[in-house]
Amino acid sequence: MMADEVSNKLLGGLNRIGLAMRSAAWGEATESGLTPTQSQILAFIAARGPHSPRSGDAADALGITPQTASVAIGALVAKGLVIKVPDTNDRRASALRLTRQGEVAARVATQWPQFLTNAMQELDGGEREAFLRILLKFIHRLQADGEIVPQRLCITCAHFQANAHSGRNGGPHHCALINAPLAEIDLRLDCPEHRAAASEVAEAAWQSFARRGAAAES
Ligand code: SF4
């Protein structure tokens, strides 16, 4: 089968999953009374933990305009799910915090649709690890092409050391922040402790990560 034909099949499959996810997001939005953007902002604030983000951080992370973020945040404040507090780094600016009710709504918003968790059960450990590697490659490329906003990936983190271990003592990778080996399956797609590495460092880490994958596939 031609490579293009396979690519078309894969992209068609991805498109179907994307449609199902969009439909689930709108269904959930109708049920919860929140728009998908409002749900994403709640999930984003929750993921920041104690680091209360600003409105602009939410816009950047979700790839939406500041105006769209501002309208959605205004609605969340009006619903009593989010409050604005002084930013600890700049008292003149305000940061976003979830109320109790907002924490509950965020937990609901961050739950995966049941159809996806059911489908994930079909994958065994090796398939999940392979899937994670493929996702990382996709996200890395989309990020490099400017199609999605930068994600907080291990591979682009200043604390990440690719292929730092032989594998006998865990690894093969290493997180310098927690000073511990990282297995491939432990690589994070959205780590709150992520610190962006300099571009040449991130590129070297990516090359090392990709080389190992190529060696494993050959
Ligand atoms: S701090 Fe987080 S993103 Fe960075 S290497 Fe460690 S686990 Fe990965």
CA dist 53 and 159 (Å) reads 22
What pLDDT does residue 217 have? Answer: 57
What pLDDT does residue 1 have? Answer: 61
| Pocket mutation for ligand 1, best pick of 173, 177, 178 (most atoms within 8 Å of C-beta) | 177
What pLDDT does residue 59 have? Answer: 93
pLDDT digits (tens, 9 = 90+) for 70-81: 999 999 999 999
pLDDT digits (tens, 9 = 90+) for 187-212: 999 898 999 999 999 999 999 998 87
Is the per-residue pLDDT at 214 higher than 80? no
What pLDDT does residue 213 have? Answer: 65
What pLDDT does residue 110 have? Answer: 84
Q: What is the CATH number of the domain that holds 13?
A: 1.10.10.10
171 C-alpha to ligand 1 centroid (Å): 13
**Looking at the structure, do residues 38 and 80 belong to the same domain, yes or no?**
yes
**Looking at the structure, do residues 105 and 7 belong to the same domain, yes or no?**
yes
Ligand 1: does its nearest atom lie under 6 Å from the Cβ of 46? no
pLDDT digits (tens, 9 = 90+) for 95-137: 999 999 999 999 888 888 888 999 999 999 999 999 999 999 9
Atom of ligand 1 nearest to the CA of 192: 2
**Looking at the structure, do residues 28 and 101 belong to the same domain, yes or no?**
yes
**Looking at the structure, do residues 212 and 156 belong to the same domain, yes or no?**
yes
Strand 173-175 versus strand 90-98 pairing type: unpaired
In a domain, 94, yes or no: yes
Measured by CA distance, the residue closest to atom 6 of ligand 1 is 175
pLDDT digits (tens, 9 = 90+) for 133-184: 999 999 999 988 988 888 889 999 999 999 999 866 788 999 999 999 999 9
**Looking at the structure, do residues 58 and 142 belong to the same domain, yes or no?**
no
Is the per-residue pLDDT at 85 higher than 90? yes
Ligand 1: does its nearest atom lie under 6 Å from the Cβ of 194? yes
Is the per-residue pLDDT at 16 higher than 90? yes
What pLDDT does residue 33 have? Answer: 87
In a domain, 187, yes or no: yes
Q: What is the span of the domain harbouring residue 33?
A: 3-109
**Looking at the structure, do residues 199 and 101 belong to the same domain, yes or no?**
no
What pLDDT does residue 36 have? Answer: 87
> 90 forms bridges with which residues in the sheet?
87
**Looking at the structure, do residues 103 and 138 belong to the same domain, yes or no?**
no
Q: Work out the mean pLDDT of the chain and round it to a whole number.
A: 89
Reduced 3-state DSSP string for 159-209 = CEECCCCCECCECCEEECCCCEEECHHHCCCCCCCCCECCHHHHHHHHHHH
Q: Which residues of 22-54 are buried (b: 16+ CB within 10 A; e: fewer)?
A: eebbeebbeeeebbbbbbbbbbbbbbbeeebbb
Last residue of a domain, one of 52, 74, 109: 109
**Looking at the structure, do residues 30 and 103 belong to the same domain, yes or no?**
yes
Q: Count structural domains, the chain.
A: 2
In a domain, 103, yes or no: yes
- Residue 137, SS3? helix
In a domain, 117, yes or no: no
Strand 173-175 versus strand 180-182 pairing type: antiparallel
**Looking at the structure, do residues 72 and 142 belong to the same domain, yes or no?**
no
Average pLDDT over residues 86-93: 84
* Residues 37/62, Cβ–Cβ less than 8 Å: yes
